[in-house]
Amino acid sequence: MRTQVAIIGAGPAGLLLSQLLHRQGIDSVVLESRDRAYVERRQRAGMLEQNTTDVLRDTGVGGRLDREGLVHHGLELRFGGAGHRVPITDLTGRTVTIYAQTEIVKDLVERRLADGGDVRFEAEVLAVDPAAPSVTFRQDGTEHVLECDYIAGCDGFHGVSRPAVPDVRTFSREYPFAWLGILADVPPSTDELIYAHHERGFALHSLRSPKVSRLYLQVAPDEDLGAWSDARIWDELAARFATGDGWELREGPITDRAITPMRSFVAEPMRHDRLFLAGDAAHIVPPTGAKGLNLAVADVTVLAEALTERYASGSETLLDGYSERCLRRVWRAEHFSYWMTTLLHTDPGATPFEHRLQRSHLDYVVSSQAAMTSLAENYAGLPLK
């Protein structure tokens, strides 16, 4: 078997890269270890920067996004019993959109298959050879070797691609808290996301659709999910979102719940020989800044541009600069995500002095246009170029 680009992983990064290459006449094969149903129901973040929505539209998969996505022009920081709006569009001229990652994956799978794309589910990758580029995989009990010009490792944090990069340098930070996230069949209590800082811990009110809410609570990393009844979850959310103006949190049936650990992680370089890492295979951010999916889209957009130049002109200049270019954006997003996380969460090990500094910083952010603009620029997404 042979193709021009072998893509490992059928998440948003791998599928989008395949679609971007297809539109430039470049062949690819996408290999995914899970079945299609599993891939299309994986719950992940759903806040899209304008860069991301622009790329999806340009790639031909923006129809349902435009019909069903919830466009936001601001967000709220809530602390001390009061809310403070950050007017993102007024400050940056950009918007953010709420659209579930599961729906992005469904849209991309449908588009790739409709265009005759080769997306192979239940294809377990066994080995990656970055030098004489090839991928060995098993499907239906038979081993195959897929030869190619280049390999894109879009297979996530636990995938096989990153271990194939020798002497990779890693940088990481574990946080002393996690998120308990829920989906609830109840209309959202807010039109824009609420990021709440409270002495009992952080809380986030997000939206999935006009009828479904997505909410999060800061908990301990070793929290027992079974100890959280529906009533306890709603009571804790209400306490952390409480304001002095009578704002009320709507409650409804909880349909899904999970605990997500918080970590920052970067692997350098993002390229070895003919293997290129993208998305979670190369970096992880805490979800506070909503950068994970958007970084993955930025990575594959840069990679698709570089591969297009290579096949059009023979030049590998952009391919040679892939890792450095992506890592500049990655480290900016890592810092912003770290900043948002430490600004809003309650550190169980912090001293009273540090708690007062944190509150002072929050007061500054919502009272300074310069500080608010910096938050808005990073949240809405810096330009790709």
By annotation, the residues acting in catalysis are: 72, 195, 287, 291, 379
- Output Rg (C-alpha) for the chain, integer angstroms: 21
Residues 6+ apart with CB under 8 A from 223: 178, 180, 259
CB atoms within 10 A of CB 31: 25
- Backbone phi, then psi, for 353, in 5-degree steps? -60, -45
Residues 6+ apart with CB under 8 A from 2: 146, 147, 148
Q: Residue 38 half-sphere exposure, CB side, CA atoms within 13 Å? A: 8
- Length of the chain counted residue by residue: 385
Distance CA 368, CA 365 (A): 6
SS3 state at 92: helix
Closest to 287 (Cα-Cα) out of 209, 352, 351, 195: 195
Relative to beta strand 203-209, strand 271-272 is unpaired
Closest to 201 (Cα-Cα) out of 358, 334, 372: 358
Closest to 94 (Cα-Cα) out of 83, 86, 102: 86
CB 8 within 8 A of CB 117: no
Helices and strands, counts by H and E, the chain: 12, 20
Distance CA 34, CA 109 (A): 14
